[in-house]
Amino acid sequence: MNRVAIVDYATTKFRKLTDKSVYELACEPAMEILRSSIIPANKIEGLLFSSCSNDLYTGAIASEMLDINPKITCRIDNLCNSGTVALSAAYSYISSGLCDSILVIGAELRNSPGSKLIWDVSRGQFTSPIYWASVFAKMHMREYGTTEEDMGVIAVKNRSLAKNNPNAMFNKSISLEEVLDSRKLVEPIKLLDCGALCSGAASVLLVSEDVARTLDVQPVWIDGIGQQTNCASVAHAIPGIFKNGSSKLAATHAYKMAKLNPSDIQVAEIHDAFTIMEIMAFEDLGFAKTGKGASYALDGEIAVNPRGGILGSGHPIGATGVAQVCEIVCQLRHEAGIRQVGTSNVGLVHNLAAAGTSATIMILRS
């Protein structure tokens, strides 16, 4: 199996409004990568497009717009988990030898249909993700004593980190009081406990080891991937969510593949569409023991969500996973400027979809 390296990355400014189409938005970070000419467009062998938009044939259209004639192109939709699923597909194409280089693009407009899963009738009238998130939060509070303050701390941390990310949607710190006093939405979730849907795009260039050796850039290697789909509905997701959820199983696969333990991770991007999700992820990823996620936010050793996570950066659904990978590559190449956290060389990306029914973990190393 060929090793796979990430050799370039780019992210647009995440914003509420754009007059661009999803195709045009997707080209923004892709053109930034292609302009730097690490590999000319006509040598790129694959293009994978991650999005939940209704627009069709996105892979072929983006390829035409960027003057790429890929051997392999397709669009990947896996709701919030789309970007990281596209990355693992790109890894598989390259490691199998079908392609030597793939451009992955994630792009989404704010009004994407990807925030709701209409198929899931077990959600009843409560189709928005905030309802299952509120159930998770209430269950975590009841079972482990997690408090609204514990969740608020996550929002304060990630908003503060986003200040140093010029592409983040939010660039102002908030206080714990502001989080706790923000508009009540669905108990115990308040406005500032939620990530905001937005428009944005991100792109990553992956190549085989043979190609990476010929390039004059620092490669970041994909050493581990774990992907797990447990189910699709809230009805099936909730039993056992704290014990054997998809994140926990995916993390086990990824650590095994990378031959690493949670304690080896130095920096991580974690899916935090709601504050409770980051607390649950600390436990699923083995950073904290089950039920102890809340205290990890205060005294954890691993730098988590240096770009500000979803809470600080915004959530362009199909682009989020790609943007998370961009950040970890940036951190592992020590190119993050004022938001650089130490001299990390091992990082992790965690992303999930639809009430944690599926999840992807990637372990990267420079």
Partner 1 sequence: MRRFMKQLKNGMLVVSYCTACQKKIWPPYEHCPSCYRRTSTVAAGKFGKIVEFSKSWLEEEKVIVALIDMDGILMLGSVLEGRRIAVGEAVELIATGATPEGKIYFCFRTLDRFDSYTMNK
Q: Interface with partner 1 by CB under 8 A: which residues?
A: 119-127, 130-132, 134-135, 137-139, 142, 183-188, 233-236, 238-239
The residue to which tokens 């390829």 are assigned: 63
CB of 121 to partner 1, least distance (A): 5
Nearest to 328 by CA among 314, 312, 339, 319: 339
Torsion over CA: 309, 313, 316, 319 (sign): negative
Q: Letter for the amino acid at 75? A: R
Q: Which is nearer to partner 1, 61 or 194 (CB)?
A: 194
Nearest to 170 by CA among 161, 181, 179, 182: 161
Q: Which is nearer to partner 1, 74 or 141 (CB)?
A: 141
Q: Which is nearer to partner 1, 102 or 133 (CB)?
A: 133
CB of 234 to partner 1, least distance (A): 7
CB of 18 to partner 1, least distance (A): 26
CB of 124 to partner 1, least distance (A): 5
Check: CB of residue 200 under 8 Å from CB of residue 323. yes
Distance CA 60, CA 260 (A): 38
CB of 242 to partner 1, least distance (A): 12
Distance CA 225, CA 13 (A): 27
Q: Which is nearer to partner 1, 238 or 268 (CB)?
A: 238
Q: Which is nearer to partner 1, 240 or 337 (CB)?
A: 240
Q: Which is nearer to partner 1, 38 or 231 (CB)?
A: 231
CB of 122 to partner 1, least distance (A): 5
Q: Which is nearer to partner 1, 120 or 272 (CB)?
A: 120
CB of 343 to partner 1, least distance (A): 43
Distance CA 145, CA 17 (A): 39
CB of 225 to partner 1, least distance (A): 27
Q: Which is nearer to partner 1, 135 or 251 (CB)?
A: 135
